[in-house]
Amino acid sequence: MRADRLVAALLLMQSRGRVTAAELAEELEISVATARRDLEALSAAGIPVYPQAGRGGGWQLVGGARTDLSGLSAAEAQALFLLVGPAAAIAPEAKAALRKLVRALPDTFRADAEAAASAVVIDSSRWGERQKVRQGPVEVLQSAVVRRVRVRFTYKQSVRVVDPLGLVDKDEVWYLIAGTGSGRRTFRVDRMTDVEVTDSPADRPDDFDLSTAWDEVVEQVERRRGLVSAVVLAQARHVFVLRDQFGRHCEVLEELADGRVRLRLAASMPIMIAQVLAGWGALVEVEESDAVKAELVRLGSELVAQYG
């Protein structure tokens, strides 16, 4: 997990004072190119990391070696947590690393760093086809979430003033979850224009959890889309690929003695399940869902007719 590596790289520089990409690669068991990209990512995120060329050079933190994170400014701590925080929603290792970072920060920075870490959620499963869209002022909105101030923007030809609660990156499309006078709402960032951060403090419930809130949004959307499901048999070693294809809609129901597993797959239409499973051929067997079986038969007949 990259987030864990970034934390490890930062702590390694603090303990050694200076580290080369080759040394970092050896320590973390990654390639030199990957180590160099991680170091550049830390620098790009606003962490005071800079390279020093020449003999005896390498990468180091401004101010030299330190044994903890107390040398970071409030803005630098927020930048680090904004960089690493999203991965904590899907990686237990990253979450554990963030807890260690929080304990290392001085009390005056801790609250803002924790807010930054929970400002973004990553949801890699997609709705429909992948869309490449302009994401708009994500950084401005992240800052508003961390600072807990209201934002004003135009959305569907209407001016809104909301309490920003968190951002979600769903398959490269960003969403803002915010409090409004009518309750909690979700806005697509690429549809927001004229975004402006105000000086008015935002109202953020003490018990608000971004991951939980996003799960509720996804559940509502999927319920409206009317999911259909199929029960299939597949080899256990193939489950991770099916999970990548179906996201949260791939559920393991049972592990069988012959090395296979029984799964429930879901999508908005039978054809969407069939189109994915057709590529698996006989490696996946549909047990339940006559509608999905019928779509597979139709697809198979079309392929035979086309290619004979």
Distance, in Å, from the CA atom of 229 to the CA atom of 265, rounded to the nearest integer, reads 5
Q: Beta strand 228-235 with 260-267: parallel, antiparallel or unpaired? A: antiparallel
Local confidence pLDDT in tens for the 308 residues of the chain: 455 577 777 777 766 677 888 888 887 778 888 888 888 877 766 677 777 776 667 887 765 434 345 555 556 555 665 655 555 554 555 555 555 565 555 555 556 655 655 555 555 555 554 444 445 688 889 888 878 899 999 998 899 999 999 888 876 788 999 999 989 999 999 899 999 999 999 998 888 888 888 888 887 877 766 578 999 999 999 998 998 888 878 889 999 999 899 999 988 889 999 999 999 999 999 999 999 999 999 999 999 998 87
Name the CATH architecture for the domain at 2-81+97-107. Orthogonal Bundle (1.10)
| Domain residue ranges in the chain | 2-81+97-107, 123-223, 226-307
The percent of the chain in helix, strand and coil, each rounded to the nearest 5, is: 50, 25, 25
Q: What angle do CA 289, 130, 213 make, to 5 degrees?
A: 80
* Both structure tokens of 184: 């909690």
pTM score of the predicted model: 0.46
Q: Looking at the domain covering 226-307, what would its CATH class be?
A: alpha beta
Please give the helix or strand (H or E) that residue 32 lies within, else none: helix 32-44
Map residue 126 onto helix, strand or coil: coil
